Amino acid sequence: MNVDFDPSLEAFREEVCAFLDTAPTDAIREAGRKTTSVFAPFEATMEWHRLLYARGWAAPAWPVEYGGTGWSLEQRYIFSEEHWKRDLPPLLPNGLIMVGPLLMELGTPEQKRQHLPGILSGKDYWTQGYSEPSAGSDLAALSCSALADGDDYIINGQKTWTTLAHKANKMFMLVRTNRDGKKQQGITFLLLDRTDYPGMHIRPIIGLDGVAEQCEVFFDNVRVPQAGRVGAENEGWSVAKALLKHERGGAAHSPAIRRKLDAIRAAARDATASFGGPLSEDPVFQRDLGELEAEVASFEHVEKLVLSGHALADDPAMPSLNKVMSSELSQLLSIMMTRVAGIDALPLQLEALEVGSGVQPLGDPFSLVAMPYYLNTRAASIYAGSNEVQRDLISRNLQTVRA
């Protein structure tokens, strides 16, 4: 099936290119080059968010009535493709891809009025309070409690791996409001209008890559309004599943993956193989790169089929399939990056990775990000639902279709 885009979209592509070539500042471009995880360097990325908002392009996937662009799926793909070609930082996903669409689907009119404008403009950044020390992949085992008291909840407990909580001014979280019945029951979804409530303490975690991106968050009798609840009390598991649908399938991933593959191919031409010639001419490396190219091309084709209106777009297994393929490809790419960089990837150069530091890396820019990217992608097959769980969901959907 031919899934090439209509040539009439080239005028749109030219408009996108003209903006992306001129609008980003030097700091924004540097942040893009130094992005080593799903979350790009915070300050420069939020600056880029605000520039895109001023253009009207911050949320291409949002409905027009909430500030979206009105672009077709093909236009959104083209924008993503050109964005990644220029190594620009991806906008942070928690607001635009996760809680924003969730509120459009399940939020009250007041919650939409209160929160969607700040998400769209980049005024607010939302952190996700899900995982706990005893409830990571088994999220339903969470124990952080919220006890109703008048018009408020009183929260006690702990969250961990709470990305960029120390930078956030908002939080969405899951809490235990009832301990009876199955563990999926008795969970409630809450919006916290700030991250500095009395009794709330945030402690950054230094990751394997040396960066404080994740955090622990502690709650000691933290009082928050019940008005922040999304959905009914004790029905938060269904709300969380609705949000995960957006998290797993809320963006086109193949342009970013293609860009990583192109960078690997270019770096291999300058790397030296064990026999002394260019690594790109090593037969074993050529074989492995060819296999990776086939995997990337397959994933691109699947995403374009979805965009073209193929029946896959409505398949309930598609978000899980997208998540498994994209996360495992990112891990394969990270392995290949360290293989190309070789011993130059070993030192973690934190100062050189910091946007605006002016510190020159010991090696080339490719080697600077290879090891941090490898370390960060170890978690890709766990977050947003572990890949083992996703394969189970895919299998269940296939069995339902066959039945």
Specify the range with the lowest mean pLDDT, choosing from 232-236, 251-255, 346-350: 251-255
Residue 240, Ramachandran bin (φ over 0: left; ψ between -120 and 50: alpha; else beta): alpha
Q: Which residues are catalytic?
A: 247
Q: Indicate whether 96 pLDDT > 70.
A: yes
pLDDT tens by residue, 280-339: 888 999 999 999 999 999 988 888 877 766 776 677 777 788 888 889 999 999 999 999
pLDDT tens by residue, 148-180: 999 999 999 999 999 999 999 999 999 999 999
Q: State how far the Cα of 356 lies from the Cα of 351, in Å rounded to an integer.
A: 10
pLDDT of residue 208: 83
Q: State how far the Cα of 12 lies from the Cα of 201, in Å rounded to an integer.
A: 47
Q: Indicate whether 2 pLDDT > 60.
A: no
pLDDT of residue 403: 46
Closest-CA residue to 251 (of 36, 90, 394): 90
Q: Indicate whether 82 pLDDT > 50.
A: yes
Q: Indicate whether 4 pLDDT > 70.
A: no
Task: Specify the DSSP element, H or E, that contains 56.
Answer: none
Q: Indicate whether 56 pLDDT > 70.
A: yes
pLDDT of residue 93: 92
Q: State how far the Cα of 243 lies from the Cα of 239, in Å rounded to an integer.
A: 6
pLDDT of residue 312: 67
- Which residue did the predictor score with more confidence, 15 or 244? 15
DSSP 313: G
Domains of the chain: 7-91 (no CATH), 126-234 (2.40.110.10), 253-402 (1.20.140.10)
Give the predicted TM-score (pTM) of the model: 0.89
